[in-house]
Chain A
């Protein structure tokens, strides 16, 4: 059996930023298998920087510290390697790409990932069967598959599409950046159901959110509060209600 480290992801003393401006100032975080961690905190605390860094977006500088993912140095990965190794970032603002159909994009993503993982690519029929089943579970009209990627999609449609991508790519670590922002209650419930169905003992999730609302639907194992680029408080799910009551100022 393959060697399996104690935790899926370990971040140690991470200092990072953009253009010589530090944003993250000593992050310590460990994510175990099958765990759901929520990272909360006020605007500008560095939550999205952390999410982007974990998906290896260009333009961030790491000054100090390490990120270890399945015993490998995550900072040596390219964005596509992150995906192939099982890291998924759900975007706060999914990008629209007119003229490229959603289904064409999804098929490219699934098959490129499968090939990189040493699996055979899916043919058109197998892919279609798989995607039909997954869209139905997300209560997503199949018409969205044939439109241009995220082009003219409502906020809810975009986020459902992010969750669809997550369920198709079957990552080991899903980072959902403000997945709840801009969603009405029905869309929020659909997205939460998608995430809860996805959740199992082999898949870990980092939920980045402003509000406690999402945590009513997706129950985290741990909650971390991030302020000024540091995790200042960690606790169980009960921390959410304290934050709801008192805000972030007391920390």
Chain B
């Protein structure tokens, strides 16, 4: 019996057909079967609706996903990009630079190992329970990305940069970057990951990053997802931590029609720590959404999540923090704090601090606040001659100071540039 094709082609059908053709043409169809399966699995579930708890605050129904096409190959003439590489002064020897999914620059440093794919992950435990449907789409369409291994005991002083720029000029494009970082035993490094959608037509960026920390590894991760259009930017970050490993950093989301980051951190070994901060900045009609889950699987693990958002005009931010303490994960320490600052009466901030605790003898605390600028503080500053706009800026700086105090200098200037518009 022949396969009956559906009357209405399924989502991304034409994009996948052209991908299939180009893979066969280039003679690399080895993973085609895996891609087909991933797409089929995605079709089972589809684009998440906002009726799902996990996607409640990212409404994707208003985007026409079928209009997004994969970027044509080798379309990248020498693109002139003043942003953000110049600003952040990344050392080219430690920098990946992608433009519409295509690698323009690869690091030349020999202090870590560059791989061609994330295949090395196969040997590692992954306790992540839920697979995000956008991960499936990323498996189906995924293309180039940064894959690296930090050798055992290596201590990198200079940060590693992974910079993804996307830019649709006429056709709405979609990109599906994949990144893999394996930090071997007792290695230490700082990772700066930037997703930037430049001004132009709508873009759909769907990235996945997997960070595997072996015993005693330390990773500082600075993640920035910024859109200069009303685009869809979705990132999914999986972090798997072995005993005594340390994962810390900050995720900052700003701009975009749907700007979403999902973090899943699994503390799989005793004394693994996760200390993470998030910052969302949304104005006009923008929507930002962070869903951050930490699962404590083993005893004496700790997590500390500090989330802030600043919302202006008719924008909306959302933060969901979920701490799961598995049975037996005794002596766990976890804290979750979310503060939201509204700069206009029509701005919205959604906050959901969630705890799921299945173990005894633990310490967990959580809290959330939503409010406006403190009038008394504003009066105090103005009474010293500081003009209204500058006084508000100082109070905004004060509000986010716990989040940004550890950001490395060059990246901080990029972040401050965004903040100054608020």
Contacts and interface: CB of A to CB of B under 8 A. Distances in A.
A109 B384 contact: yes
Contacts of B379: 55, 57-58, 79
Contacts of A165: 384
B133 to A, nearest CB: 39
B397 A94 contact: no
A222 to B, nearest CB: 24
A74 to B, nearest CB: 14
B398 A80 contact: no
Contacts of A105: 381, 384, 386, 394
B395 A55 contact: no
Contacts of A100: 394, 397-398, 401
B377 A80 contact: no
Interface string A54-73: 01011100000000000000
Interface stretch (A14-22, A38-46, A83-91, A203-211): A83-91
Contact of A79 (B377, B383, B402): B383
Given A58-B375, A105-B394, A99 B401 contact: yes
Interface residues of A, number: 30
A112 B382 CA distance: 10
B360 interface: no
A192 B155 CA distance: 56
A242 interface: no
Interface string A88-103: 1101001101111000
A122 to B, nearest CB: 13
Given A57-B379, A58-B375, A58-B379, A113 B394 contact: no
Given A79-B379, A105-B394, A99 B385 contact: no
B380 interface: yes
B394 A108 contact: yes
A163 interface: no
A216 B383 CA distance: 28
Interface in B33-86: none
A89 B399 CA distance: 25
A19 B374 CA distance: 20
B397 A169 contact: no
Given A97-B377, A98-B401, A99-B397, A82 B383 contact: yes
Interface residues of B, number: 25
Contacts of A82: 383
A97 B394 contact: yes
Contacts of A97: 377, 380-381, 394-395, 398
B158 interface: no
A116 interface: yes
B375 A112 contact: no
Given A97-B395, A100-B398, A109 B380 contact: no
Interface string B372-416: 001111011111111110110011011111100100000000000
B385 A169 contact: yes
A93 B380 CA distance: 10
A108 B401 contact: no
A142 interface: no
- Interface-centre pick from A78, A79, A82, A112 (highest chain B CB count, 10 A): A79
Given A95-B376, A95-B377, A169 B384 contact: yes
Contacts of A55: 379, 383
Nearest to A96: B377
- Interface-centre pick from B377, B379, B385 (highest chain A CB count, 10 A): B385
Given A58-B375, A83-B383, A108 B390 contact: yes
Contacts of A91: 380
A223 to B, nearest CB: 25
B380 A78 contact: no
Given A97-B394, A99-B402, A100-B397, A109 B386 contact: yes
Interface string A139-168: 000000000100000000000000001000
Contacts of A108: 386, 390, 394
Contacts of B384: 83, 105, 109, 113, 165, 169
A170 B388 CA distance: 21
Contacts of B374: 95
B411 to A, nearest CB: 18
Given A95-B377, A108-B390, A112-B390, A89 B383 contact: yes
Given A57-B383, A89-B383, A97-B398, 15 more contacts: A57-B379, A79-B379, A80-B388, A95-B377, A97-B394, A98-B402, A99-B402, A100-B398, A105-B381, A105-B384, A105-B394, A109-B381, A109-B384, A109-B386, A148-B398
Interface of B: 374-377, 379-388, 390-391, 394-395, 397-402, 405
The 10 closest A-B pairs by CB, nearest first: A99-B401, A83-B385, A113-B385, A109-B384, A79-B382, A95-B380, A99-B398, A80-B382, A95-B377, A112-B385
